[in-house]
Chains A and B, each alone.
Chain A
């Protein structure tokens, strides 16, 4: 039953991805100034939104781990698995943002990169979470999960700074899509529909791989605990 539900969800996700692609490439009209290259927007912005959401999940998991680590070991391990899964899948989406953005920028601005506030804070966010993953991968000892949780909390502090950066400072980056005043937002309904479908599709895809990553980590935790138990009994 569980396998059937996962299979159905995966099939629905694939259908949404195909539909989102169709909307972005064939249905949405060309933007007047940037023309076809603006279609990168339908992958770039939803990827950023999903990355922010998953870093928030990592933050919640990190706080949960620190809150439960002394008295509720099982809850602490579950929280830690969510923190790791959120950080890792968030880095995957943030990588997409940092690669598709410059591809777009090269055509729209004539440059691959500029050290403006939005781009720089996003790069810093990516670096913080990559360092989080490197810490989890290469450090050893009983304090690793605690150190990672603290780093995860500090890393998440950069998310609102990235979000607000093109409101607080003058940047090369385009104006906010939502919540940026009267001039912000997508005016064309066909563009708005294509954008909304791609947000839904990428969110569905993200949840699928986030859940898979969580399950892999839980399996790893249980296997490590079993090995430790076997070593004690030997």
Chain B
């Protein structure tokens, strides 16, 4: 693999990794928020569903 092809590959990998890091990071944050709300609702003795 020549230097140009190697750089192309590294940039492509970087773009794909960043995309998944953002998407999965957001999903994890959403999951934590969901769990906290559920816990708060149970703690206050009411079920908001």
Q: Which residues of A contact B (CB under 8 A)?
A: 21, 34-37, 39-40, 43-44, 47, 89, 92, 95-96, 99-100, 103-104, 106-107, 205, 209, 212-213, 215-216, 219-220, 222-223, 226-227, 230
Contact = CB atoms under 8 A, between A and B. Distances in A.
Nearest to A43: B19
By secondary structure, the A interface counts as helix
Given A47-B19, A216-B34, A104 B11 contact: yes
Contacts of B27: 209, 212
Contacts, number: 83
A107 B8 contact: yes
Given A96-B23, A219-B37, 17 more contacts: A35-B8, A37-B11, A39-B12, A40-B11, A40-B15, A40-B16, A47-B19, A96-B19, A106-B11, A107-B8, A107-B11, A205-B23, A212-B30, A219-B38, A220-B37, A223-B37, A227-B44
Interface in B1-49: 4-5, 7-9, 11-12, 14-16, 18-19, 22-23, 26-27, 30, 33-34, 37-38, 40-41, 44, 46, 48-49
Contacts of B38: 219
Contacts of B12: 36-37, 39-40
A89 B11 CA distance: 25
B15 A100 contact: yes
Contact of A103 (B14, B23, B33): B14
30 contacts: A35-B4, A35-B5, A36-B12, A37-B8, A40-B11, A43-B19, A92-B26, A96-B18, A96-B22, A96-B23, A99-B15, A100-B15, A100-B18, A103-B14, A103-B15, A104-B11, A106-B11, A107-B8, A216-B30, A219-B34, A219-B41, A219-B49, A222-B48, A222-B49, A223-B44, A223-B48, A226-B48, A227-B44, A230-B44, A230-B46
